[in-house]
């Protein structure tokens, strides 16, 4: 395989696609470097940077001390000095240790300097549950970071987006946070190398319809996309045509694509792995209600994680997380808002 290129005669995993994107960026621009805990000799906690140390050396693949505040701060300084750092935070919960750097510095400096300073840093982090990592390593805080002005927040949900969204993120003069759901790293698909654009050539801040439908719109992002596509397939077997919209970028949010879909289907289900209260589902549902109130034939339904710290036990973790069955129940409720739903998703009218 030629360095920086993906062979087209085999399936490519999400982690391989992200690695190829990093490799290509580093080959194209000497200012780009990767830093974070275990990104060098170990190859990254999730294997994304495997082999890059041998290719680019320790000056550009930099293992850091176990201090998120320190190495995110160093990345911000490097960006201010003209470099293009990619900072890997092992899992999203550890980003809280660098929150002052991300919120008070990276996201704020352009405004506080009157436009004189830009912070072109990309911060990658693994998010999500479903891997029995318990309460401290299963967070889905995408909605929290999307709350912060001054950040661009993206969530590649497909192998193609993992491959092509990094380059425009690095070209952004402002800080970009990339959420990579841990359940997606082994996902694979065949992609076309050489197209050189976002899947291929969608703008980085545009949502996309992953599955067309006529009866109900399912809006989701990141690791929930495969589950929602499965739910849509199962609904189709029951005669319900569900359209699935992948947000892709959470800040800025692409209202136009979501609202256009809801205006056609007249029903909406919003799905996110974050907690329901004050979360991403609340924001998207509110925007739909504000803009499409008279287009809706039923209240907007929401599917989110239970309001608990994530359990370690597998059966409890599964019960706490969104599922295809929960999405199906919500879609059926939107289709028949006067009905009561049994636990198995069947509809009963009084």
Q: Which of 162, 189, 216 is the last residue in one of the domains?
A: 189
d(CA 5, CA 47): 18
Q: Residue 119: name the closest of 68, 71, 83 by CA.
A: 83
Q: Which of 157, 189, 221 is the last residue in one of the domains?
A: 189
pLDDT cut 70: percent of the chain above it:
91
On whether residue 196 sits in a domain, the answer given is no
In the annotation, is 243 catalytic? no
Whether 183 and 219 share a structural domain = no
Q: What pLDDT is stored for residue 230 in this prediction? A: 98
Whether 173 and 85 share a structural domain = yes
The order of strands in the sheet holding 249-251 is: 61-63, 32-36, 84-91, 122-127, 176-181, 152-154, 249-251
Mean pLDDT across the chain: 91
Q: Does pLDDT of 344 surpass 50?
A: no
Please state the pTM of the whole predicted model.
0.91
On whether residue 5 sits in a domain, the answer given is no
Q: What pLDDT is stored for residue 5 in this prediction? A: 45
On whether residue 310 sits in a domain, the answer given is yes
pLDDT tens string 163-219: 999 999 999 999 999 999 999 999 999 887 655 444 444 578 999 999 999 999 999
Residue of 16, 24, 37, 68 marked catalytic:
68
Q: Does pLDDT of 149 surpass 90?
A: yes
Question: Mapping DSSP to helix (H, G, I), strand (E, B) and coil, where does residue 15 land?
Answer: helix
Q: What pLDDT is stored for residue 192 in this prediction? A: 73
On whether residue 221 sits in a domain, the answer given is yes
Nearby residues of 270 by Cβ (< 8 Å), 6 or more positions away: 218, 219, 220, 280, 281, 284, 285, 288, 300, 301, 302, 303
In the annotation, is 273 catalytic? no
Average pLDDT estimate for 264-284: 97
Q: Does pLDDT of 339 surpass 70?
A: no
Would you state the torsion angle of the CA atoms of residues 172, 261, 290, 339, taken in this order, to the nearest 10 degrees?
Answer: -140
Whether 231 and 184 share a structural domain = no
Whether 134 and 271 share a structural domain = no
DSSP class of 74? H
Q: What pLDDT is stored for residue 219 in this prediction? A: 98
- DSSP H helices, the chain, are 14-28, 52-56, 68-80, 92-95, 99, 109-112, 142-146, 159-164, 166-171, 225-237, 255-265, 280-292, 314-320, 324-335
d(CA 116, CA 135): 41
pLDDT cut 90: percent of the chain above it:
85
Q: Does pLDDT of 8 surpass 90?
A: no
d(CA 180, CA 21): 14
Whether 133 and 20 share a structural domain = yes
Q: Which of 189, 218, 235 is the last residue in one of the domains?
A: 189
Q: Which CATH number covers residue 161? A: 3.40.50.970
On whether residue 250 sits in a domain, the answer given is yes
Whether 312 and 181 share a structural domain = no
Q: What pLDDT is stored for residue 130 in this prediction? A: 83
d(CA 274, CA 143): 7
Whether 149 and 212 share a structural domain = no
Q: What pLDDT is stored for residue 128 in this prediction? A: 93
Q: Give how far the C-alpha of residue 234 lies from the chain's centroid of Cα atoms, to the nearest Å.
A: 24
Residue of 24, 137, 180, 273 marked catalytic:
137
On whether residue 282 sits in a domain, the answer given is yes
Q: Which CATH number covers residue 304? A: 3.40.50.920
pLDDT tens string 100-123: 999 999 999 999 999 999 999 999
Q: Does pLDDT of 345 surpass 50?
A: no
What is the extent of the structural domain holding 43? 12-189
In the chain, how many domains are there?
A: 2
Average pLDDT estimate for 11-35: 97
Average pLDDT estimate for 329-337: 93
Does the CA dihedral 269-273-277-281 come out positive or negative? Answer: negative
Q: What pLDDT is stored for residue 19 in this prediction? A: 97
Q: What pLDDT is stored for residue 191 in this prediction? A: 80
Whether 150 and 229 share a structural domain = no
On whether residue 59 sits in a domain, the answer given is yes
On whether residue 201 sits in a domain, the answer given is no
Q: What pLDDT is stored for residue 30 in this prediction? A: 97
d(CA 67, CA 69): 5
Whether 161 and 214 share a structural domain = no
Whether 290 and 322 share a structural domain = yes
Q: Residue 203: name the closest of 146, 250, 249 by CA.
A: 249
DSSP class of 223? G
Whether 218 and 332 share a structural domain = yes
Average pLDDT estimate for 88-98: 96
Q: Does pLDDT of 350 surpass 60?
A: no
Whether 26 and 107 share a structural domain = yes
């Amino acid at each position: 395989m030629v360095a920086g290129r993906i062979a087209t005669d085999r399936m490519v995993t999400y982690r391989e696609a992200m690695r190829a994107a990093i490799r290509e960026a580093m080959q194209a621009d000497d200012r780009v470097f990767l830093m974070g805990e275990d990104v060098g000799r170990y190859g990254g906690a999730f294997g994304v940077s495997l082999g890059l140390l041998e290719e680019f050396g320790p000056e550009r693949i930099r293992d850091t001390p176990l201090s998120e505040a320190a190495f995110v701060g160093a990345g911000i300084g490097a960006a201010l000095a003209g470099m293009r750092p990619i900072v890997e935070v092992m899992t999203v919960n550890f980003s809280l240790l660098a929150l002052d750097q991300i919120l008070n510095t990276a996201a704020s400096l352009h405004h506080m300097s009157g436009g004189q300073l830009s912070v072109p840093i990309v911060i990658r982090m693994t998010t999500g549950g479903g891997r029995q990592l318990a309460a401290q390593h299963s967070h889905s805080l995408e909605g929290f970071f999307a709350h912060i002005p001054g950040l661009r927040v993206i969530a590649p949900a497909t192998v193609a987006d993992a491959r092509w969204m990094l380059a425009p993120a690095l070209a952004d003069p402002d800080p970009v946070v990339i959420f990579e759901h841990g359940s997606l790293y082994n996902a694979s698909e065949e992609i076309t190398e050489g197209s050189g654009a976002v899947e291929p050539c969608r703008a980085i801040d545009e949502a996309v319809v992953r599955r067309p439908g006529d009866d109900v719109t399912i809006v989701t992002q990141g690791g929930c996309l495969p589950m929602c596509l499965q739910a849509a397939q199962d609904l189709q077997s029951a005669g319900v045509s569900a359209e699935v919209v992948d947000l892709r970028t959470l800040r800025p949010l692409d209202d136009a694509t979501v609202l256009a879909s809801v205006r056609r289907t007249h029903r909406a289900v919003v799905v996110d792995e974050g907690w329901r209260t004050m979360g991403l589902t609340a924001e998207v549902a509110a925007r739909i209600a504000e803009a499409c109130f008279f287009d809706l034939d039923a209240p907007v339904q929401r599917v989110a994680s239970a309001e608990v710290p994530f359990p370690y036990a597998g059966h409890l973790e599964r019960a706490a997380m969104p599922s295809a069955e929960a999405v199906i129940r919500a879609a059926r409720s939107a289709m028949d808002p006067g009905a009561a739903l049994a636990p198995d998703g069947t509809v009963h009218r009084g």
